Amino acid sequence: MAAHVSSWAVAAVLLFLLIRHLIAPGKKIRRDGEKLRKAPDTLPLVGNGLTFIQDRQKLFTWFTKAERMADYETLELTVPSLPPGVLIHDPKNLEYIFKHEAIFSKGSFVKDRAWDLFGHGIINADGDMWRAQRKAGAAFLSTANLRVLQDVALPKFLKDRIDYLKKRSDGKQVVDLQDVFHEITTQLMGKMAYNMEMHTNDDFTTAFDFASGGTAERFQNPLWFITEIFTGARLRKSVAIVKSYGDKIVSQAIKDRQQLSAPSKPDPTTTDLDQISGTLINSLLDAIPDKPTVADAALNYLSAGRDTTAQSLTWAFHLLMQTPGCLEEVRKEVNSLLPSSSPSDPIDLSLLTPQSLPYTLAVLYESLRLFPPIPMEIKQLVSDQPATLPDGTVLPPNSVLVWCLWAMGRSVKTWGPGAESFRPERWLATDEKGKRTLVQRSAAEFPVFNGGPRSCLGKKMAEGIAVMVIAAFARGFEFEETEVEKGKLGAERTSKTSLTLPMDGGLNVRVRERR
């Protein structure tokens, strides 16, 4: 937690850096020749430095306040010692940033902080290194592989968790649904991407969670490189555990390849899970000559794929438990596919697809809007020339651009007066024959899967997993949250400090089978 960093010590160093900065001022951000309006609560000497070291939930509330105040205007962010910054709200600006990915990229601001955990992996890489990993990912996430996921792999791991819940469905035992979702996505990614049996309750997962929290703190604490000298031992140890797991994935894959005398390309029409297992790691080994980079890439894909999807399911179920009408609507939609079955009958899970269950897909999108698994994005102007955003904001080289998906998802200007309420219907259109379809919003308005050339590669995979799991669990079980007052839409559940959005304390529920 950033809380263990002494705010006073940080403030003192910020003050020193500010004075130095005032003596030798750098280039300033301007719009129409004028200074930008400052973000709320900007202090005279430390700028927004103290805002950023507060608890992340308070930070989200602050970003939401800034969004309301801005009315799409770009605001100035200042933190002494850091490059000049802006807080982006206008989708027009975001569209421009996505289109000009070559100049608005991760930059040293992100890479320096994320290096220990992500190394040369796709999340941190640019240029040829990025292209090779993206191509390997596209092979893994091919239409053929997604069909095997839908028809074979996901039903297998989901059925395993349905049986797990049935055994605990006396209405008394407490089950952490976040763990349950994490187990599904971990087993799925383990088998399909790496051909390995993976589970969540291992040292790697604990170490990764800690390292993700420690890395996220670096984005909040401008003096992280100093404070970590004193407080960073556990982060360093966690990163070492994570890295050794990456090495293990690669060594195992190399061993498997050596055992196959003539490795064959999987038949594109196959439905055999074993045939396509390990597609990702094999494509990475084919494309990238050095093993440490393959290990980084493998770890990046694992964290991009499993945590985000499991967390989005956690928030979706939290919201569904608070809105029984929406939960009933999901059940009605599933029943319309399986009219003559009762909730306890076994069903062909592969029928539960995003195409056949638009309302259930809308539940996912509405949860993602309110609880985006990647709640904040940072890019940097990496060109040595200034750049001008569509609203006229002129950014000097090196400027840092921030947008907060948490706040953008709650924007009244974008989503209307009921922006804070959970209403899956907002995503649906009905044609003359009564058929419902999901209405997509532009990536600039709804950047939950990012936009432009670096948009999320796993969007279809995430949709397929989420819809099948929501539909199957809603049909088969009643859940009762143990820790939450009914009727309060998620505001009282917070997330842990992390690069993503894990629910702090998990989603503890009592389960009953529906009959």
CB of 152 to ligand HEM, least distance (A): 17
Element (H, E) at 148: helix 143-148
Residue (497 or 500) nearer to ligand HEM, CB: 500
Map 126-185 to HEC letters: CHHHHHHHHHHHHHHCCHHHHHHHHHHHHHHHHHHHHHHHHHCCEEEEEEEHHHHHHHHH
In sequence order, what are the residues at sequence separation of 6 or more whose Cβ sits closer than 8 angstroms to the Cβ of residue 289? none
Residues 215-254 that bind ligand HEM (CB under 6 A): none
User: Quick check: 307 binds ligand HEM (CB under 6 A)?
Assistant: no
Residue (217 or 377) nearer to ligand HEM, CB: 377
Note whether 4 and 55 are within 8 A (CB).
no
User: Quick check: 301 binds ligand HEM (CB under 6 A)?
Assistant: yes
CA dihedral over 120, 124, 129, 135, signed as positive or negative: positive
Note whether 330 and 470 are within 8 A (CB).
yes
User: Quick check: 123 binds ligand HEM (CB under 6 A)?
Assistant: yes
Tokens describing residue 296: 């980084």
User: Quick check: 329 binds ligand HEM (CB under 6 A)?
Assistant: no
User: Quick check: 134 binds ligand HEM (CB under 6 A)?
Assistant: yes
User: Quick check: 499 binds ligand HEM (CB under 6 A)?
Assistant: no
Could you say which of 48, 308, 323, 367 contacts ligand HEM (CB under 6 A)?
308
CB of 242 to ligand HEM, least distance (A): 17
Residue (220 or 309) nearer to ligand HEM, CB: 309
Residues 425-484 that bind ligand HEM (CB under 6 A): 448-450, 454, 456-458, 461-462
CB of 193 to ligand HEM, least distance (A): 7
123, amino acid identity: I
User: Quick check: 204 binds ligand HEM (CB under 6 A)?
Assistant: no
φ, ψ (nearest 5 deg) of residue 48:
-100, 15
456 marked as part of a ligand binding site: yes
The 8-class DSSP code of residue 238 comes to: H
User: Quick check: 304 binds ligand HEM (CB under 6 A)?
Assistant: yes
Question: Could you give the CA distance from residue 283 to residue 295 in angstroms, rounded to a whole number?
Answer: 12
Count of residues of this chain found to bind ligand HEM when the rule CB under 6 A is applied:
23
User: Quick check: 375 binds ligand HEM (CB under 6 A)?
Assistant: no
Measured at the alpha carbon of residue 254, what is the angle toward residues 252 and 259, in degrees to the nearest 5?
A: 95
Rounding to the nearest 10 degrees, give the CA dihedral for residues 452, 499, 2, 72: 30
Residues contributing to the site for ligand HEM (CB under 6 A):
122-123, 134, 137, 301, 304-305, 308-309, 312, 368, 373-374, 377, 448-450, 454, 456-458, 461-462
Q: Which residues are annotated as a binding site for heme?
A: 456
